[in-house]
Chain A
Protein backbone atom coordinates (compact mmCIF):
# COMPACT_ATOMS: atom_id res chain seq x y z
CA UNK A 1 0.00 0.00 0.00
CA UNK A 2 1.74 3.22 -1.10
CA UNK A 3 1.94 5.81 1.64
CA UNK A 4 1.60 9.51 1.07
CA UNK A 5 1.84 12.39 3.50
CA UNK A 6 -1.38 14.37 3.51
CA UNK A 7 -1.41 18.12 4.02
CA UNK A 8 -5.15 18.77 4.45
CA UNK A 9 -5.10 22.52 5.10
CA UNK A 10 -7.58 24.60 7.08
CA UNK A 11 -10.43 24.56 4.54
CA UNK A 12 -10.67 20.77 4.44
CA UNK A 13 -11.15 20.72 8.20
CA UNK A 14 -13.97 23.22 7.99
CA UNK A 15 -15.95 24.50 5.06
CA UNK A 16 -14.64 21.82 2.72
CA UNK A 17 -15.12 18.93 5.13
CA UNK A 18 -16.96 16.92 2.42
CA UNK A 19 -13.77 17.13 0.33
CA UNK A 20 -11.73 15.59 3.16
CA UNK A 21 -14.33 12.95 4.02
CA UNK A 22 -14.71 11.85 0.40
CA UNK A 23 -10.94 11.85 -0.13
CA UNK A 24 -10.30 9.66 2.91
CA UNK A 25 -13.11 7.26 1.95
CA UNK A 26 -12.00 6.76 -1.63
CA UNK A 27 -8.28 6.55 -0.84
CA UNK A 28 -9.02 3.73 1.56
CA UNK A 29 -10.95 1.99 -1.19
CA UNK A 30 -8.10 2.52 -3.69
CA UNK A 31 -5.51 1.29 -1.23
CA UNK A 32 -3.71 4.60 -0.76
CA UNK A 33 -2.44 5.19 2.76
CA UNK A 34 -2.58 8.84 3.81
CA UNK A 35 -0.72 10.04 6.88
CA UNK A 36 -1.41 13.59 8.02
CA UNK A 37 1.45 16.04 8.54
CA UNK A 38 1.85 16.29 12.31
CA UNK A 39 0.61 19.61 13.71
CA UNK A 40 0.60 21.38 10.34
CA UNK A 41 -0.17 25.10 10.21
CA UNK A 42 -2.08 27.25 7.72
CA UNK A 43 -0.34 27.74 4.35
CA UNK A 44 -1.20 31.46 4.41
CA UNK A 45 -3.53 31.15 1.39
CA UNK A 46 -3.22 34.25 -0.79
CA UNK A 47 -3.04 36.55 2.24
CA UNK A 48 0.16 35.98 4.21
CA UNK A 49 2.38 36.66 1.21
CA UNK A 50 0.52 39.92 0.62
CA UNK A 51 1.76 41.18 3.99
CA UNK A 52 5.15 39.57 4.69
CA UNK A 53 7.01 37.85 1.91
CA UNK A 54 9.89 36.10 3.72
CA UNK A 55 7.68 35.12 6.66
CA UNK A 56 5.14 33.64 4.24
CA UNK A 57 7.81 31.28 2.92
CA UNK A 58 8.89 30.45 6.46
CA UNK A 59 5.25 29.72 7.34
CA UNK A 60 5.07 27.16 4.54
CA UNK A 61 8.62 26.05 5.30
CA UNK A 62 7.48 24.77 8.70
CA UNK A 63 4.95 22.51 6.97
CA UNK A 64 7.54 21.23 4.52
CA UNK A 65 9.99 20.57 7.37
CA UNK A 66 7.34 18.64 9.31
CA UNK A 67 6.31 16.70 6.19
CA UNK A 68 9.93 15.82 5.44
CA UNK A 69 10.21 14.15 8.86
CA UNK A 70 7.44 11.75 7.82
CA UNK A 71 8.16 10.83 4.23
CA UNK A 72 9.26 7.33 3.36
CA UNK A 73 8.82 5.41 0.13
CA UNK A 74 6.92 7.93 -2.00
CA UNK A 75 8.64 11.12 -0.74
CA UNK A 76 5.39 12.81 -1.60
CA UNK A 77 3.23 15.27 0.25
CA UNK A 78 -0.27 15.47 -1.16
CA UNK A 79 -2.53 18.50 -0.98
CA UNK A 80 -6.12 18.67 -2.17
CA UNK A 81 -6.65 22.43 -1.84
CA UNK A 82 -5.36 24.59 -4.68
CA UNK A 83 -3.88 27.30 -2.48
CA UNK A 84 -2.16 24.78 -0.19
CA UNK A 85 -0.79 22.88 -3.18
CA UNK A 86 0.54 26.01 -4.84
CA UNK A 87 2.06 27.47 -1.67
CA UNK A 88 3.85 24.23 -0.78
CA UNK A 89 5.05 23.68 -4.36
CA UNK A 90 6.11 27.28 -4.83
CA UNK A 91 8.05 27.47 -1.58
CA UNK A 92 9.95 24.26 -2.32
CA UNK A 93 10.66 25.39 -5.88
CA UNK A 94 11.83 28.91 -4.95
CA UNK A 95 13.99 27.58 -2.11
CA UNK A 96 15.71 25.34 -4.65
CA UNK A 97 16.29 28.19 -7.11
CA UNK A 98 17.07 31.06 -4.78
CA UNK A 99 20.01 30.40 -2.47
CA UNK A 100 19.39 33.54 -0.41
CA UNK A 101 15.75 32.64 0.16
CA UNK A 102 16.74 29.10 1.13
CA UNK A 103 19.30 30.36 3.62
CA UNK A 104 16.91 32.91 5.16
CA UNK A 105 13.97 30.50 5.43
CA UNK A 106 16.21 27.97 7.12
CA UNK A 107 17.56 30.62 9.46
CA UNK A 108 13.96 31.41 10.46
CA UNK A 109 13.09 27.71 10.80
CA UNK A 110 16.11 27.25 13.04
CA UNK A 111 14.46 29.62 15.53
CA UNK A 112 11.88 26.86 15.92
CA UNK A 113 14.42 24.05 15.89
CA UNK A 114 13.53 22.98 12.34
CA UNK A 115 15.31 22.64 9.04
CA UNK A 116 14.15 21.98 5.49
CA UNK A 117 16.34 20.88 2.61
CA UNK A 118 14.48 21.93 -0.55
CA UNK A 119 13.60 19.03 -2.77
CA UNK A 120 13.38 16.52 0.08
CA UNK A 121 9.65 16.14 -0.50
CA UNK A 122 7.73 16.19 -3.74
CA UNK A 123 4.58 18.30 -3.57
CA UNK A 124 1.71 16.93 -5.59
CA UNK A 125 -1.99 17.49 -5.96
CA UNK A 126 -4.44 14.72 -5.11
CA UNK A 127 -5.76 14.64 -8.70
CA UNK A 128 -2.21 14.13 -10.01
CA UNK A 129 -1.69 11.20 -7.62
CA UNK A 130 -5.00 9.56 -8.55
CA UNK A 131 -4.61 9.96 -12.31
CA UNK A 132 -0.88 9.24 -12.58
CA UNK A 133 0.00 6.95 -9.65
CA UNK A 134 -3.22 5.01 -9.10
CA UNK A 135 -3.97 5.15 -12.81
CA UNK A 136 -7.21 5.25 -14.72
CA UNK A 137 -7.25 1.47 -15.23
CA UNK A 138 -7.35 0.86 -11.52
CA UNK A 139 -9.98 3.56 -11.14
CA UNK A 140 -12.09 1.97 -13.90
CA UNK A 141 -11.90 -1.43 -12.21
CA UNK A 142 -13.29 0.09 -8.98
CA UNK A 143 -16.37 1.60 -10.63
CA UNK A 144 -19.53 -0.18 -9.52
CA UNK A 145 -22.06 2.54 -10.33
CA UNK A 146 -21.35 4.24 -13.63
CA UNK A 147 -21.99 7.98 -13.83
CA UNK A 148 -23.53 7.43 -17.28
CA UNK A 149 -26.24 10.01 -17.93
CA UNK A 150 -24.63 12.70 -15.77
CA UNK A 151 -23.29 15.69 -17.70
CA UNK A 152 -20.34 17.11 -15.80
CA UNK A 153 -18.47 20.40 -16.30
CA UNK A 154 -14.87 19.79 -15.17
CA UNK A 155 -13.71 22.94 -13.40
CA UNK A 156 -10.07 23.23 -12.31
CA UNK A 157 -9.83 26.86 -11.26
CA UNK A 158 -6.48 28.59 -11.33
CA UNK A 159 -3.85 27.48 -8.93
CA UNK A 160 -3.67 23.78 -9.74
CA UNK A 161 -2.61 24.17 -13.35
CA UNK A 162 -0.81 27.49 -13.02
CA UNK A 163 1.97 28.49 -12.79
CA UNK A 164 3.01 24.80 -12.78
CA UNK A 165 6.74 25.36 -12.45
CA UNK A 166 7.24 21.59 -12.08
CA UNK A 167 5.46 20.70 -15.34
CA UNK A 168 3.07 18.34 -13.60
CA UNK A 169 0.12 19.04 -15.91
CA UNK A 170 -0.48 18.57 -19.59
CA UNK A 171 -1.60 22.16 -20.16
CA UNK A 172 -1.73 25.32 -18.05
CA UNK A 173 -4.96 26.58 -19.63
CA UNK A 174 -6.78 23.47 -20.80
CA UNK A 175 -5.74 20.55 -18.61
CA UNK A 176 -7.58 17.27 -19.22
CA UNK A 177 -6.60 15.10 -16.23
CA UNK A 178 -9.96 15.51 -14.48
CA UNK A 179 -11.83 15.22 -17.81
CA UNK A 180 -10.23 11.81 -18.38
CA UNK A 181 -10.90 10.73 -14.82
CA UNK A 182 -14.58 11.67 -14.99
CA UNK A 183 -14.94 9.89 -18.35
CA UNK A 184 -13.46 6.81 -16.74
CA UNK A 185 -16.25 7.00 -14.17
CA UNK A 186 -18.76 6.91 -17.04
CA UNK A 187 -19.79 10.57 -16.88
CA UNK A 188 -20.59 12.62 -19.96
CA UNK A 189 -17.89 15.27 -19.72
CA UNK A 190 -18.45 18.57 -21.48
CA UNK A 191 -15.52 20.35 -23.12
CA UNK A 192 -15.76 23.26 -20.72
CA UNK A 193 -14.02 26.32 -22.18
CA UNK A 194 -13.95 28.14 -18.81
CA UNK A 195 -12.35 25.22 -16.97
CA UNK A 196 -9.42 27.23 -15.67
CA UNK A 197 -11.03 30.66 -15.42
CA UNK A 198 -11.00 32.37 -12.05
CA UNK A 199 -13.81 31.94 -9.48
CA UNK A 200 -12.87 35.24 -7.86
CA UNK A 201 -10.91 33.77 -4.94
CA UNK A 202 -11.11 36.15 -1.98
CA UNK A 203 -12.87 38.85 -4.04
CA UNK A 204 -16.18 38.05 -2.31
CA UNK A 205 -14.69 39.75 0.77
CA UNK A 206 -13.44 42.78 -1.13
CA UNK A 207 -15.79 43.77 -3.93
CA UNK A 208 -19.00 41.81 -4.30
CA UNK A 209 -20.03 43.01 -7.74
CA UNK A 210 -16.64 42.07 -9.19
CA UNK A 211 -16.83 38.67 -7.48
CA UNK A 212 -20.41 38.01 -8.57
CA UNK A 213 -19.59 38.65 -12.22
CA UNK A 214 -16.67 36.19 -12.11
CA UNK A 215 -18.94 33.57 -10.52
CA UNK A 216 -21.82 34.27 -12.92
CA UNK A 217 -19.64 33.67 -15.99
CA UNK A 218 -18.72 30.20 -14.79
CA UNK A 219 -22.20 29.10 -13.77
CA UNK A 220 -23.63 30.57 -16.96
CA UNK A 221 -20.99 28.76 -19.03
CA UNK A 222 -21.73 25.41 -17.42
CA UNK A 223 -25.46 26.03 -17.86
CA UNK A 224 -25.01 26.89 -21.54
CA UNK A 225 -23.33 23.54 -22.03
CA UNK A 226 -26.26 21.91 -20.23
CA UNK A 227 -24.12 20.51 -17.46
CA UNK A 228 -25.96 18.81 -14.60
CA UNK A 229 -23.17 19.44 -12.15
CA UNK A 230 -19.83 21.22 -11.89
CA UNK A 231 -16.94 19.11 -10.65
CA UNK A 232 -14.29 21.03 -8.74
CA UNK A 233 -11.07 20.35 -6.87
CA UNK A 234 -10.65 23.48 -4.78
CA UNK A 235 -12.45 24.55 -1.57
CA UNK A 236 -12.63 28.23 -2.53
CA UNK A 237 -13.95 27.46 -6.01
CA UNK A 238 -16.61 25.23 -4.43
CA UNK A 239 -17.52 27.88 -1.85
CA UNK A 240 -17.77 30.70 -4.38
CA UNK A 241 -19.73 28.79 -7.00
CA UNK A 242 -22.01 26.98 -4.56
CA UNK A 243 -22.57 29.11 -1.47
CA UNK A 244 -22.70 32.44 -3.35
CA UNK A 245 -24.89 31.11 -6.20
CA UNK A 246 -28.09 32.29 -4.48
CA UNK A 247 -26.65 35.80 -4.05
CA UNK A 248 -25.49 35.79 -7.67
CA UNK A 249 -29.02 34.83 -8.77
CA UNK A 250 -30.46 37.69 -6.74
CA UNK A 251 -27.88 40.14 -8.10
CA UNK A 252 -28.38 39.27 -11.78
CA UNK A 253 -32.05 38.16 -11.58
CA UNK A 254 -31.10 34.71 -12.77
CA UNK A 255 -32.32 31.35 -11.52
CA UNK A 256 -29.39 28.99 -11.82
CA UNK A 257 -29.44 25.84 -9.78
CA UNK A 258 -26.09 24.37 -10.66
CA UNK A 259 -24.76 21.99 -8.05
CA UNK A 260 -21.02 22.03 -7.40
CA UNK A 261 -19.40 18.85 -6.10
CA UNK A 262 -15.81 17.84 -5.48
CA UNK A 263 -14.41 15.35 -7.98
CA UNK A 264 -13.75 13.04 -5.03
CA UNK A 265 -17.47 13.00 -4.23
CA UNK A 266 -18.27 11.94 -7.81
CA UNK A 267 -15.55 9.27 -7.62
CA UNK A 268 -16.98 8.00 -4.34
CA UNK A 269 -20.46 7.73 -5.85
CA UNK A 270 -19.07 5.77 -8.80
CA UNK A 271 -17.29 3.48 -6.34
CA UNK A 272 -20.63 2.76 -4.69
CA UNK A 273 -20.05 4.74 -1.49
CA UNK A 274 -23.06 6.24 0.26
CA UNK A 275 -23.80 9.93 -0.45
CA UNK A 276 -23.73 10.70 3.31
CA UNK A 277 -20.24 9.22 3.67
CA UNK A 278 -19.10 11.59 0.93
CA UNK A 279 -20.61 14.68 2.55
CA UNK A 280 -23.22 15.06 -0.18
CA UNK A 281 -26.03 17.18 1.24
CA UNK A 282 -23.69 19.80 2.71
CA UNK A 283 -23.75 21.83 -0.48
CA UNK A 284 -25.96 24.95 -0.71
CA UNK A 285 -27.35 24.09 -4.15
CA UNK A 286 -28.78 20.60 -3.74
CA UNK A 287 -27.07 17.96 -5.85
CA UNK A 288 -29.95 15.53 -5.33
CA UNK A 289 -31.92 16.31 -8.52
CA UNK A 290 -28.80 16.00 -10.70
CA UNK A 291 -27.75 12.76 -9.01
CA UNK A 292 -31.16 11.23 -9.67
CA UNK A 293 -29.91 10.90 -13.29
CA UNK A 294 -27.58 8.16 -12.12
CA UNK A 295 -30.06 6.55 -9.80
CA UNK A 296 -28.63 8.00 -6.59
CA UNK A 297 -31.36 8.67 -4.07
CA UNK A 298 -31.83 12.42 -3.75
CA UNK A 299 -30.36 13.71 -0.54
CA UNK A 300 -32.59 15.96 1.51
CA UNK A 301 -30.89 19.30 1.53
CA UNK A 302 -32.49 21.44 4.18
CA UNK A 303 -30.52 24.64 3.93
CA UNK A 304 -30.47 24.81 0.15
CA UNK A 305 -31.77 27.87 -1.61
CA UNK A 306 -35.45 27.38 -2.27
CA UNK A 307 -36.03 28.55 -5.79
CA UNK A 308 -39.26 27.68 -7.51
CA UNK A 309 -38.25 29.00 -10.89
CA UNK A 310 -37.53 26.36 -13.47
CA UNK A 311 -35.27 27.45 -16.24
CA UNK A 312 -36.62 26.93 -19.74
CA UNK A 313 -34.91 24.10 -21.55
CA UNK A 314 -33.96 22.47 -18.27
CA UNK A 315 -33.01 18.86 -18.73
CA UNK A 316 -34.34 17.93 -15.34
CA UNK A 317 -36.86 15.13 -15.53
CA UNK A 318 -40.44 16.18 -15.12
CA UNK A 319 -42.71 14.29 -12.81
CA UNK A 320 -45.56 12.58 -14.59
CA UNK A 321 -48.79 14.55 -14.85
CA UNK A 322 -49.94 17.79 -16.32
CA UNK A 323 -47.24 20.24 -17.43
CA UNK A 324 -46.55 22.79 -14.74
CA UNK A 325 -46.45 26.52 -15.51
CA UNK A 326 -42.94 27.77 -16.05
CA UNK A 327 -41.45 31.04 -14.98
CA UNK A 328 -40.07 33.22 -17.80
CA UNK A 329 -36.32 33.15 -18.29
CA UNK A 330 -34.78 35.83 -16.12
CA UNK A 331 -31.29 35.42 -17.45
CA UNK A 332 -31.45 38.07 -20.16
CA UNK A 333 -32.50 40.77 -17.70
CA UNK A 334 -29.05 41.55 -16.35
CA UNK A 335 -28.96 44.99 -14.75
Chain B
Protein backbone atom coordinates (compact mmCIF):
# COMPACT_ATOMS: atom_id res chain seq x y z
CA UNK B 1 0.00 0.00 0.00
CA UNK B 2 1.42 3.35 -1.01
CA UNK B 3 1.47 6.41 1.20
CA UNK B 4 -1.18 8.13 -0.91
CA UNK B 5 -3.64 5.30 -0.53
CA UNK B 6 -3.35 5.40 3.25
CA UNK B 7 -4.19 9.09 3.42
CA UNK B 8 -7.84 9.89 4.18
CA UNK B 9 -9.69 11.26 1.18
CA UNK B 10 -10.27 15.00 1.17
CA UNK B 11 -13.87 16.16 0.71
CA UNK B 12 -13.05 17.17 -2.81
CA UNK B 13 -11.57 13.86 -3.74
CA UNK B 14 -14.48 11.99 -2.15
CA UNK B 15 -17.05 14.07 -4.00
CA UNK B 16 -15.34 13.72 -7.36
CA UNK B 17 -16.15 10.57 -9.24
CA UNK B 18 -13.09 9.18 -10.91
CA UNK B 19 -12.84 9.74 -14.63
CA UNK B 20 -14.12 6.65 -16.42
CA UNK B 21 -10.80 6.30 -18.16
CA UNK B 22 -8.88 7.37 -15.06
CA UNK B 23 -7.68 10.37 -17.02
CA UNK B 24 -9.63 13.64 -17.21
CA UNK B 25 -8.03 14.72 -20.48
CA UNK B 26 -9.13 11.49 -22.13
CA UNK B 27 -12.59 11.75 -20.57
CA UNK B 28 -13.10 15.25 -22.03
CA UNK B 29 -11.84 14.16 -25.45
CA UNK B 30 -14.07 11.07 -25.46
CA UNK B 31 -17.12 13.17 -24.62
CA UNK B 32 -16.46 15.65 -27.45
CA UNK B 33 -17.79 14.63 -30.87
CA UNK B 34 -15.34 14.53 -33.75
CA UNK B 35 -11.61 14.79 -33.10
CA UNK B 36 -11.25 17.60 -30.55
CA UNK B 37 -7.39 17.51 -30.73
CA UNK B 38 -7.30 18.73 -27.13
CA UNK B 39 -4.17 16.69 -26.38
CA UNK B 40 -2.36 18.70 -29.07
CA UNK B 41 -2.57 21.99 -27.09
CA UNK B 42 0.88 23.64 -26.97
CA UNK B 43 -0.08 26.26 -24.35
CA UNK B 44 0.54 29.19 -26.69
CA UNK B 45 -2.34 31.30 -25.34
CA UNK B 46 -3.73 32.37 -28.72
CA UNK B 47 -7.17 31.26 -27.45
CA UNK B 48 -7.21 33.59 -24.44
CA UNK B 49 -5.79 36.43 -26.52
CA UNK B 50 -8.61 36.03 -29.04
CA UNK B 51 -11.42 35.68 -26.52
CA UNK B 52 -13.86 38.60 -26.13
CA UNK B 53 -14.74 37.55 -22.58
CA UNK B 54 -11.35 36.29 -21.33
CA UNK B 55 -11.18 39.21 -18.87
CA UNK B 56 -14.27 37.90 -17.08
CA UNK B 57 -13.11 34.30 -16.92
CA UNK B 58 -11.63 32.63 -13.83
CA UNK B 59 -9.08 30.95 -16.08
CA UNK B 60 -8.16 31.61 -19.68
CA UNK B 61 -8.82 28.66 -21.99
CA UNK B 62 -5.07 27.95 -22.06
CA UNK B 63 -4.94 27.74 -18.26
CA UNK B 64 -8.02 25.55 -18.21
CA UNK B 65 -6.44 23.11 -20.67
CA UNK B 66 -3.31 22.90 -18.51
CA UNK B 67 -5.59 22.15 -15.55
CA UNK B 68 -7.37 19.42 -17.51
CA UNK B 69 -4.02 17.81 -18.23
CA UNK B 70 -3.09 18.08 -14.57
CA UNK B 71 -6.29 16.16 -13.74
CA UNK B 72 -7.69 19.04 -11.68
CA UNK B 73 -11.20 17.83 -12.45
CA UNK B 74 -13.01 19.57 -9.62
CA UNK B 75 -11.41 22.99 -10.23
CA UNK B 76 -12.00 22.76 -13.97
CA UNK B 77 -15.70 21.95 -13.57
CA UNK B 78 -16.12 24.75 -11.03
CA UNK B 79 -14.42 27.34 -13.22
CA UNK B 80 -16.69 29.96 -14.74
CA UNK B 81 -14.65 29.85 -17.96
CA UNK B 82 -16.93 27.63 -20.07
CA UNK B 83 -19.94 29.68 -18.94
CA UNK B 84 -18.39 32.90 -20.19
CA UNK B 85 -17.66 31.35 -23.57
CA UNK B 86 -19.94 33.18 -26.03
CA UNK B 87 -19.44 30.63 -28.83
CA UNK B 88 -17.75 33.11 -31.18
CA UNK B 89 -15.26 30.46 -32.38
CA UNK B 90 -12.38 32.97 -32.67
CA UNK B 91 -10.15 30.72 -30.57
CA UNK B 92 -11.14 27.68 -32.62
CA UNK B 93 -10.20 29.17 -35.98
CA UNK B 94 -7.01 30.80 -34.66
CA UNK B 95 -5.65 27.82 -32.71
CA UNK B 96 -2.41 26.75 -34.43
CA UNK B 97 -3.06 23.17 -33.30
CA UNK B 98 -6.66 23.20 -34.52
CA UNK B 99 -8.10 22.26 -31.14
CA UNK B 100 -11.91 22.40 -31.22
CA UNK B 101 -11.92 24.76 -28.25
CA UNK B 102 -15.57 25.87 -28.38
CA UNK B 103 -16.70 22.23 -28.54
CA UNK B 104 -14.52 21.41 -25.53
CA UNK B 105 -16.20 24.28 -23.63
CA UNK B 106 -19.62 22.75 -24.41
CA UNK B 107 -18.39 19.37 -23.14
CA UNK B 108 -17.22 20.97 -19.89
CA UNK B 109 -20.56 22.76 -19.48
CA UNK B 110 -22.52 19.54 -19.85
CA UNK B 111 -20.22 17.73 -17.39
CA UNK B 112 -20.60 20.55 -14.85
CA UNK B 113 -24.39 20.48 -15.21
CA UNK B 114 -24.59 16.70 -14.90
CA UNK B 115 -22.62 16.78 -11.67
CA UNK B 116 -23.96 20.17 -10.50
CA UNK B 117 -20.42 21.45 -10.02
CA UNK B 118 -20.80 25.00 -11.31
CA UNK B 119 -20.15 27.83 -8.86
CA UNK B 120 -22.76 30.23 -10.28
CA UNK B 121 -26.11 28.85 -11.45
CA UNK B 122 -27.12 31.76 -13.72
CA UNK B 123 -25.80 30.42 -17.02
CA UNK B 124 -26.48 26.71 -16.34
CA UNK B 125 -30.06 27.58 -15.37
CA UNK B 126 -30.53 29.60 -18.55
CA UNK B 127 -29.51 26.60 -20.66
CA UNK B 128 -31.78 24.27 -18.69
CA UNK B 129 -34.76 26.63 -18.80
CA UNK B 130 -34.25 27.11 -22.54
CA UNK B 131 -34.14 23.40 -23.29
CA UNK B 132 -37.10 22.59 -21.03
CA UNK B 133 -39.37 24.43 -23.50
CA UNK B 134 -37.79 22.63 -26.45
CA UNK B 135 -38.44 19.29 -24.76
CA UNK B 136 -42.02 20.22 -23.99
CA UNK B 137 -43.06 21.95 -27.23
CA UNK B 138 -40.31 21.28 -29.78
CA UNK B 139 -39.72 24.98 -30.25
CA UNK B 140 -38.01 27.62 -28.16
CA UNK B 141 -40.23 30.03 -26.26
CA UNK B 142 -38.51 33.36 -25.78
CA UNK B 143 -41.09 34.92 -23.48
CA UNK B 144 -41.15 31.90 -21.19
CA UNK B 145 -37.38 31.68 -21.01
CA UNK B 146 -36.92 35.40 -20.39
CA UNK B 147 -39.67 35.65 -17.77
CA UNK B 148 -38.67 32.53 -15.83
CA UNK B 149 -34.97 33.26 -16.01
CA UNK B 150 -35.23 36.94 -15.11
CA UNK B 151 -37.56 36.23 -12.17
CA UNK B 152 -35.17 33.68 -10.78
CA UNK B 153 -31.82 35.34 -11.39
CA UNK B 154 -32.32 39.04 -12.06
CA UNK B 155 -35.56 40.04 -10.24
CA UNK B 156 -34.27 43.57 -9.73
CA UNK B 157 -33.80 44.05 -13.45
CA UNK B 158 -37.44 43.25 -14.14
CA UNK B 159 -38.79 46.82 -13.88
CA UNK B 160 -36.21 48.08 -16.37
CA UNK B 161 -36.97 45.16 -18.70
CA UNK B 162 -40.70 45.84 -18.74
CA UNK B 163 -40.63 48.51 -21.49
CA UNK B 164 -38.39 46.18 -23.48
CA UNK B 165 -40.94 43.38 -23.24
CA UNK B 166 -43.85 45.65 -24.07
CA UNK B 167 -42.09 46.97 -27.17
CA UNK B 168 -41.32 43.41 -28.29
CA UNK B 169 -45.00 42.53 -27.83
CA UNK B 170 -46.36 45.64 -29.53
CA UNK B 171 -44.11 45.08 -32.54
CA UNK B 172 -45.25 41.50 -32.88
CA UNK B 173 -41.78 40.21 -32.09
CA UNK B 174 -42.79 38.17 -29.05
CA UNK B 175 -45.76 35.89 -28.27
CA UNK B 176 -47.19 35.04 -24.89
CA UNK B 177 -48.05 31.49 -25.84
CA UNK B 178 -45.59 28.89 -27.10
CA UNK B 179 -45.67 27.34 -30.58
CA UNK B 180 -45.50 23.57 -30.69
CA UNK B 181 -44.68 20.98 -33.26
CA UNK B 182 -47.00 18.15 -34.32
CA UNK B 183 -44.38 15.47 -33.89
CA UNK B 184 -43.58 16.30 -30.29
CA UNK B 185 -43.95 12.67 -29.17
CA UNK B 186 -41.59 11.56 -31.92
CA UNK B 187 -39.06 14.20 -30.85
CA UNK B 188 -39.38 13.23 -27.19
CA UNK B 189 -38.80 9.56 -28.05
CA UNK B 190 -35.66 10.52 -29.97
CA UNK B 191 -34.31 12.65 -27.13
CA UNK B 192 -35.04 10.00 -24.48
CA UNK B 193 -33.17 7.38 -26.50
CA UNK B 194 -30.26 9.78 -27.07
CA UNK B 195 -30.00 10.46 -23.36
CA UNK B 196 -30.00 6.72 -22.61
CA UNK B 197 -27.18 6.23 -25.10
CA UNK B 198 -25.32 9.20 -23.65
CA UNK B 199 -25.51 7.70 -20.15
CA UNK B 200 -24.42 4.24 -21.21
Contacts and interface: CB of A to CB of B under 8 A. Distances in A.
Interface stretch (B10-18, B63-71, B125-133): B125-133
B195 to A, nearest CB: 5
A249 interface: no
A102 to B, nearest CB: 10
Nearest to B169: A303
A104 B197 contact: yes
B170 interface: yes
Interface residues of B, number: 69
Which residue, A54, A62, A158, has most C-beta atoms of chain B within 10 A? A54
Interface string A1-36: 000000000110111110000000000000000000
Interface in A42-61: 42, 44-55, 57-59, 61
Given A198-B86, A198-B88, A163 B33 contact: no
A15 B142 contact: yes
Contact of B139 (A41, A48, A50, A198): A41
Give the bracket for the number of chain A residues in contact with chain B: 35 or more
A14 B134 contact: no
Given A53-B33, A159-B87, A207-B56, A41 B134 contact: yes
Given A13-B179, A163-B102, A210-B56, A112 B190 contact: yes
B93 A172 contact: yes
A315 to B, nearest CB: 26
Interface string B105-139: 01101100100000000111011101100100011
B175 interface: yes
A48 B140 CA distance: 11
A199 to B, nearest CB: 9
Nearest to A110: B193
A50 B109 contact: yes
B131 A47 contact: yes
Interface stretch (A93-101, A136-144, A261-269, A327-335): A93-101
Nearest to A111: B193
B9 interface: no
Contacts of A210: 53, 56, 84
A10 B140 contact: yes
Contacts of B45: none
B146 interface: yes
Interface in B124-181: 124, 126-128, 130-131, 134, 138-140, 142, 145-146, 149-150, 154, 157, 160, 164, 166-168, 170-175, 179, 181
Contact of A162 (B89, B164, B170, B193): B89
Given A53-B107, A94-B34, A58 B190 contact: yes
Nearest to B56: A210
Given A47-B126, A49-B110, A94-B33, A162 B195 contact: no
A302 B169 CA distance: 12
B39 interface: no
A61 to B, nearest CB: 8
Contacts of B86: 158, 198, 200-203, 214
A40 B182 CA distance: 9
B42 interface: no
A57 B182 CA distance: 20
Contact of B127 (A14, A50, A172, A208): A50
B198 interface: yes
A216 interface: no
Contact of A51 (B128, B150, B182): B128
A57 B34 CA distance: 12
A52 B110 contact: yes
Which residue, A58, A98, A105, has most C-beta atoms of chain B within 10 A? A58
B156 to A, nearest CB: 11
B31 A53 contact: yes
Given A42-B138, A173-B93, A303-B170, A162 B181 contact: no
Given A105-B194, A111-B189, A205-B149, A159 B89 contact: yes
Interface of B: 31-35, 52-53, 56, 83-84, 86-90, 92-93, 100, 102, 106-107, 109-110, 113, 122-124, 126-128, 130-131, 134, 138-140, 142, 145-146, 149-150, 154, 157, 160, 164, 166-168, 170-175, 179, 181-183, 186-187, 189-195, 197-198
6 smallest beta-carbon distances between A and B, as pairs? A162-B89, A111-B193, A108-B194, A58-B194, A55-B194, A112-B186
12 contacts: A14-B175, A15-B168, A50-B113, A51-B110, A55-B191, A101-B33, A107-B197, A108-B193, A112-B189, A159-B88, A163-B89, A210-B56
Interface of A: 10-11, 13-17, 39-42, 44-55, 57-59, 61-62, 93-94, 97-98, 101, 104-105, 107-114, 158-159, 162-164, 172-173, 197-198, 200-203, 205-208, 210, 214, 243-244, 247, 282, 284, 302-303
